[in-house]
């Protein structure tokens, strides 16, 4: 079967309401034409993010009932630790309440302010970049060039460019690179996977220069599934074996369990380096809590342990990846421009080519998110000029290369018929695209303006 069906049945349901177009017009107006300002209750299909939006299983909910809320040494911590040993293999396991805290602990420990240290990555996710820069480091994105071509079909568009990595080491010196990283899958690069060969060679290159290698592991299971399907030599291996091999090349990892942990909150840091683990544990006690709970309740640790086991199931991953792929295929068949191939967790509409009559100065991505909401109650997110355009000292505006609208698919949440609804409505909008006009900014904050900006339609 090209698109395998859901490997679960539904035991609990959450009602969602389909508002009228008239109601949505008034809602979006009140929200200043910014979908971040819409109350979630007024949304029918919410594709704002795949982070923390997963549906937990009956097994995970059952695990929450045996939460051991002891301050120290909760039994759930030991299950959490054992599961991380089993999949990731790292010796020291430090729970955190989400992924960015693991990043904060790591970078505040290894970076020295004002030292000009550099962290290479395929693409830093925005919280990773922020934690590197806040702690005085320079975040370098070294993804392969083909990743920048939205229409190029390649199996592993998340790979780091090893030549660029070697050149960086030569240029700045290994002593100024405290660690190197890979983000799997590459979230900021469209959820594209990284090959096992690239992970292994990155590890070899860094280790030759004495540089430790860490993985941003948020979507490790989705990445492992792509390796199984696309990389020769892995078709017969199971997801656990592939994950074991991926992490065997690394010295540690950070992870947001809100992605492939299949939970609504949680994360961790793990490493084989004893000194680093000790320093990070001391900081953890300062900002998160005792080392066996790290900002989480015992029940949360149990839910993560069980989620990490469930995410390895191949029938789940086959359904997951193909649900995203099927949405992409439906759009491609209707001529809708999207970033190709579809990645693991989202479909990205190419707003510049979807609305060629709306210039970047008029926010085509915003125009499309507003149209999606008013037409069908679907919430997506703009990754374009509102998020990234900036002015230089002379007052010239610089626009990003791409104007994207991301449709992130929560895990195990929406049925395939709801995805069909999404595809059909996008296709309807595409056929009626001349009637979608641009926007201007009415209010903007000085930092991270996309979250709170208020917009106004142009005539
Ligand atoms: C979500 C995410 C993070 C940050 O995790 P939070 O749990 O949101 O703090 C870091 N890296 C990547 C690749 C992510 O997708």
Q: Does residue 15 form part of some domain?
A: no
- What domain range is 356 assigned to? 21-50+313-457
Among 50, 99, 383, name the best residue to mutate to test ligand 1's pocket (greatest count of ligand atoms within 8 A of Cβ): 99
Nearest C-alpha to atom 3 of ligand 1 is from which residue?
A: 99
Regarding whether 201 and 90 lie in a shared domain, the answer is yes
Q: Does residue 37 form part of some domain?
A: yes
Strands across the sheet containing 381-383: 346-350, 404-408, 381-383
- The confidence score (pLDDT) of residue 182 equals 98
Which of 288, 310, 332 finishes a domain? 310
Regarding whether 278 and 405 lie in a shared domain, the answer is no
Q: Does residue 339 form part of some domain?
A: yes
Q: For ligand 1, say whether the CB of 439 is within 6 Å of any of its atoms.
A: no
Regarding whether 328 and 237 lie in a shared domain, the answer is no
Do residues 123 and 186 touch, judged by C-beta distance below 8 A? Answer: yes
Q: For ligand 1, say whether the CB of 267 is within 6 Å of any of its atoms.
A: yes
Among 258, 288, 411, name the best residue to mutate to test ligand 1's pocket (greatest count of ligand atoms within 8 A of Cβ): 258
Which of 270, 289, 310 finishes a domain? 310
Work out which ligand 1 atom sits closest to the CA atom of 183.
Answer: 13
CA end-to-end span of the chain, whole Å? Answer: 48
Q: Where are the alpha helices (DSSP H) in 186-273?
A: 196-208, 220-230, 239-248
Beta bridge partners of 457: 439
Regarding whether 223 and 100 lie in a shared domain, the answer is yes
For 180, residues 6+ apart whose C-beta sits below 8 A from its C-beta are 119, 120, 121, 165, 202, 206, 211, 212, 213, 214
- The confidence score (pLDDT) of residue 171 equals 97
Work out which ligand 1 atom sits closest to the CA atom of 98.
Answer: 7
Under DSSP, the state recorded for 218 is T
Which of 276, 310, 344 finishes a domain? 310
Q: For ligand 1, say whether the CB of 129 is within 6 Å of any of its atoms.
A: no
Regarding whether 328 and 281 lie in a shared domain, the answer is no
Distance CA 443, CA 31 (A): 12
Measured in Å, residue 210 CA sits from the centre of ligand 1 at 27
Q: Does residue 11 form part of some domain?
A: no
Regarding whether 365 and 226 lie in a shared domain, the answer is no
Which of 281, 303, 280, 304 minimizes the C-alpha distance to 292? 281
For 431, residues 6+ apart whose C-beta sits below 8 A from its C-beta are none
Q: For ligand 1, say whether the CB of 128 is within 6 Å of any of its atoms.
A: yes
Regarding whether 328 and 302 lie in a shared domain, the answer is no
Regarding whether 137 and 106 lie in a shared domain, the answer is yes
CATH code (residue 187): 3.40.640.10
Distance CA 317, CA 311 (A): 7
Regarding whether 386 and 453 lie in a shared domain, the answer is yes
CATH code (residue 403): 3.90.1150.10
Q: Does residue 6 form part of some domain?
A: no
Distance CA 293, CA 77 (A): 7
Percent of the chain with pLDDT strictly greater than 70:
100
Regarding whether 71 and 136 lie in a shared domain, the answer is yes
Regarding whether 335 and 279 lie in a shared domain, the answer is no
Q: Does residue 2 form part of some domain?
A: no
Q: For ligand 1, say whether the CB of 98 is within 6 Å of any of its atoms.
A: yes
Dig out the tokens for 440 from the structure: 């201007």
Distance CA 235, CA 227 (A): 8
* DSSP per-residue letters across 68-135: ---SSS-HHHHHHHHHHHHHH--SEEEEESSHHHHHHHHHHHH--TTS--EEEESS--HHHHHHHHHT
Q: For ligand 1, say whether the CB of 44 is within 6 Å of any of its atoms.
A: no
- The confidence score (pLDDT) of residue 186 equals 94
Q: Does residue 448 form part of some domain?
A: yes
Regarding whether 432 and 339 lie in a shared domain, the answer is yes
Dig out the tokens for 298 from the structure: 């015992």
Measured in Å, residue 359 CA sits from the centre of ligand 1 at 31
pLDDT less than 50: residues of the chain: none
- The confidence score (pLDDT) of residue 395 equals 87
Among 98, 121, 124, 127, name the best residue to mutate to test ligand 1's pocket (greatest count of ligand atoms within 8 A of Cβ): 127
State how many domains the chain has.
Answer: 2
For 37-87, what is each residue's pLDDT tens digit? 999 999 999 999 999 999 999 999 999 999 999 999 999 999 999 999 999
Residue where the block lists tokens 């091999």:
245
Which of 327, 311, 187 minimizes the C-alpha distance to 261? 311
Q: Does residue 4 form part of some domain?
A: no
For 126, list phi and psi in degrees, rounded to 5: -60, -35
């Amino acid at each position: 079967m090209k698109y395998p069906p859901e490997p679960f049945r539904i035991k609990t349901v959450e009602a969602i309401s389909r508002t009228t177009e008239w109601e949505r017009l008034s809602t979006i107006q009140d929200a200043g034409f910014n979908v971040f300002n819409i109350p979630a209750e007024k949304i029918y299909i919410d594709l704002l993010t795949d982070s923390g939006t997963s549906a937990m299983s009956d097994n995970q909910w059952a695990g929450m009932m045996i939460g051991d809320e002891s301050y120290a040494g909760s039994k759930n911590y030991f299950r959490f630790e054992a599961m991380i040993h089993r999949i990731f293999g790292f010796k020291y396991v430090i729970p955190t309440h989400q992924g960015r805290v693991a990043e904060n602990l790591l970078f505040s420990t290894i970076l020295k302010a004002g030292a000009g240290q550099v962290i290479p990555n395929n693409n830093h996710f925005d919280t990773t970049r922020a934690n590197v820069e806040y702690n005085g480091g320079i975040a370098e994105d070294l993804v392969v060039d083909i990743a920048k071509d939205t229409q190029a079909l390649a199996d592993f568009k998340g790979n780091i460019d090893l030549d660029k990595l070697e050149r960086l080491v030569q240029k700045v010196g290994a002593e100024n690179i405290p660690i190197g990283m890979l983000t799997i899958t590459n979230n900021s690069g469209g959820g594209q996977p990284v090959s096992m060969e690239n992970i292994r060679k990155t590890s070899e290159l860094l280790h030759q220069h004495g540089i430790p290698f860490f993985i941003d592991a948020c979507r490790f299971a989705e990445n492992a599934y792509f390796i199984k399907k696309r990389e020769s030599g892995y078709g017969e291996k199971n997801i656990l074996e592939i994950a074991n091999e991926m992490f065997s090349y690394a010295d540690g990892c950070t992870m947001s369990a809100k992605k492939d942990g299949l939970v609504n909150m949680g994360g961790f840091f793990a490493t084989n380096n004893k000194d680093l683990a000790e320093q990070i544990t001391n900081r953890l006690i300062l900002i998160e809590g005792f080392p066996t709970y790290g900002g989480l309740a015992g029940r949360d640790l149990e839910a993560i342990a069980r989620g990490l086991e469930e995410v390895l199931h191949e029938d789940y991953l086959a359904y997951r990846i193909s649900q995203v792929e099927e949405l992409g295929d439906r759009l491609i068949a209707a001529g809708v421009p999207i970033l190709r191939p579809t990645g693991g967790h989202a479909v990205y509409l190419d707003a510049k080519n979807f609305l060629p009559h709306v210039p970047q100065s008029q926010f085509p991505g915003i125009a499309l998110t507003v149209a999606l909401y008013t037409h069908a109650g679907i919430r997506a997110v703009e990754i374009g000029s509102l998020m990234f355009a900036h002015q230089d000292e002379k007052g010239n505006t610089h626009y990003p290369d791409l104007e994207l609208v991301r449709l992130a698919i929560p895990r195990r949440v929406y049925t395939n018929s709801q995805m069909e609804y999404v595809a059909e409505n996008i296709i309807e909008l595409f056929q009626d695209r001349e009637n979608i006009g641009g926007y201007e900014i009415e209010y903007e904050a000085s930092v991270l303006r996309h979250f709170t900006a208020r917009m106004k339609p142009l005539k």
